[in-house]
């Protein structure tokens, strides 16, 4: 038996011991996770600085605070979530007890990602623990410093057998996917998502796939462009564009394209200063391979701002492209970098048609002062989530599910949705053995009853 098989078997044996089933145990583990986040905040920020050039403030605001809020919300709400849910009864079940009982699925595998390597690993883990599962954690090897940190600190605060961390690259992940799990949550690319789903299918293991895609951002002419562009620039260039729900490209009328460019440039200077490379708030591309890929998307484009990079430090300047050909390479794949293409459309209807001709994105953004424009965009398109007149913020609301649709993924989590994702909602009907008479009609023989009917 391989080392990975041993770890998974150990987690299953720990789960089968039954200790995760009590509410008290789950809350204790969640409290351990909360303590870990608070006590190791500086270590977490240090790993994010080493992997992604994040300063301490951005590390807290973009990752740590979301994980902390998620675990605190789960601790507060879990006593309510675990209660059996009474359901509506039929005429024949009025005297019975009908309810939904949430039970843990078993062993969950969470495969994290590198762009937000702390929160996108810890947030789903909160839901899996709250639901009473054992959890095998596989951090992304690309964000190496965070992967090593998680492997060090998680066993210091949580049950070592129930919540093991496995580090490694493609070969380790491939070996891990051969094991039987009861649920898999993966965050990453669509291509790898298909590999995960294929492996899961061999064991009929259900999955949540948090993928990505090109999240469009439609800017209406009837809009405060100063506010809109400030919010768009924040969401686009945060983490050097390496955000799965970042606005990927802008759709706008040709008459406001130049204004948008100028206002985006103004916001970038306000956020990062005249020399962006020197800003402590501006990130770096995670690896040389990703740097080369993103720089390649700029080639042959009309660059009106930025367009430069430094391979040695993996810095790519905030970049704006105008009059972008919808068939160009930059419009064929998720950018995942600080490049903002602007594609001109002449109407809301044309924007909707453009969006619907492409794969369903993880997020969609619309900026307009006209409520009818917003409602029409929501009604006539499909995406994992929508934010109107801002970007990314829908992820911060516990009551809203975070997840994709179509090529951008399946399943969802956050808040109670996480608890439900990692639970089996078991249909339960409890009937008395004393009340027999009302049930006589269901038993054979049937002929006499048919004649009476």
Helix (H) or strand (E) holding 380: helix 371-380
Rounded Cα distance, 338 and 285, in Å:
9
Torsion over CA: 446, 448, 450, 453 (sign): negative
Rounded Cα distance, 218 and 417, in Å:
28
Residue 210 known to be catalytic:
yes
The terminus-to-terminus CA distance of the chain in angstroms comes to 65
Angle at 212 between CA 211 and CA 217, to 5 degrees: 155
Are 211 and 410 in contact by the 8 Å Cβ rule? The answer is no
- Name the residue among 2, 244, 43, 29 with its Cα closest to residue 155: 29
DSSP 186-250: EES-HHHHHHHHHHHHTTT--EEEE-----EEEE-SSS-HHHHHHHHHHHHHGGGG--TTS--EE
Q: How many residues does the chain have?
A: 453
Record the tokens describing residue 365, joined without a space: 């953004």
Helix (H, G, I), strand (E, B) or coil at 169: coil
Residue 270 known to be catalytic:
no
φ, ψ for residue 28, nearest 5 deg = -60, -45
- Catalytic residue of the set 63, 70, 210, 334: 210
Buried b (16+ CB within 10 A) or exposed e, 316-338: bbbbbbbebeeeeebbeebbbbb
φ, ψ for residue 304, nearest 5 deg = -105, -5
- Catalytic residue of the set 98, 244, 252, 344: 244
β-strand 107-111 against 183-187: which pairing, if any? parallel
The residues assigned a catalytic role are: 210, 244
């Amino acid at each position: 038996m391989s080392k990975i098989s041993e770890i998974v078997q150990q987690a299953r044996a720990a789960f089968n011991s039954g200790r995760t089933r009590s509410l008290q145990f789950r809350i204790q583990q969640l409290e351990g996770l909360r303590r870990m986040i608070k006590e190791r905040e500086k270590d977490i920020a240090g790993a994010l600085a080493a992997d992604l050039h994040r300063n301490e403030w951005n590390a807290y605001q973009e990752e740590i605070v979301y994980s902390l809020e998620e675990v605190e919300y789960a601790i507060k709400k879990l006593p309510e979530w675990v209660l059996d849910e009474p359901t509506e009864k039929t005429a024949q079940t009025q005297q019975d007890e009908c309810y939904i009982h949430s039970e843990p699925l078993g062993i969950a595998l969470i495969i994290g990602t590198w762009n937000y390597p702390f929160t996108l690993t810890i947030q789903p883990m909160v839901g899996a623990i709250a639901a009473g599962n054992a959890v095998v954690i596989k951090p992304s090897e690309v964000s190496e410093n965070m992967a090593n940190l998680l492997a060090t600190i998680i066993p210091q605060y949580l049950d070592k057998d129930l919540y093991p961390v496995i580090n490694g690259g493609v070969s380790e992940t491939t070996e891990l996917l051969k094991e039987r799990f009861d649920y898999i949550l993966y965050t990453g690319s669509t291509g790898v998502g298909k590999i995960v789903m294929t492996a899961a299918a061999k064991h009929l293991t259900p999955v949540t796939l948090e993928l990505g895609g090109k999240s469009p951002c439609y800017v209406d002419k009837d809009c405060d462009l100063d506010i809109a562009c400030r919010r768009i620039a924040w969401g686009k260039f945060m983490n050097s564009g390496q955000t799965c729900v970042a606005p990927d490209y802008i759709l706008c009328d040709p008459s406001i394209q130049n204004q948008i460019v100028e206002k985006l440039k103004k916001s970038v200077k306000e956020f990062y200063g005249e020399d962006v490379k020197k800003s402590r708030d501006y990130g770096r591309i995670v690896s040389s391979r990703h740097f080369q890929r993103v720089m390649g998307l700029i080639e042959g484009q009309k660059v009106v701002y930025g367009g430069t990079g430094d391979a040695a430090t993996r810095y790519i300047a905030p970049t704006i492209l105008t009059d972008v050909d919808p068939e160009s390479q930059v419009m064929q794949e998720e950018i995942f970098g600080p490049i903002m293409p602007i594609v001109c459309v002449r109407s809301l209807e044309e924007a909707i048609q453009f969006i619907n001709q492409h794969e369903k994105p993880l997020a969609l953004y619309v900026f307009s002062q006209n409520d009818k424009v917003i409602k029409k965009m929501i009604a006539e398109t499909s995406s994992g989530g929508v934010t109107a007149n801002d970007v990314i913020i829908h992820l911060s609301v516990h009551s809203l599910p975070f997840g994709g649709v179509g090529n951008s993924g399946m399943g969802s989590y956050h808040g109670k949705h996480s608890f439900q994702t990692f639970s089996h909602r078991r249909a339960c009907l409890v009937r008395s053995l004393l009340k027999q008479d009302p049930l006589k009609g269901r038993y054979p023989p049937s002929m006499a009853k048919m004649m009476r009917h």
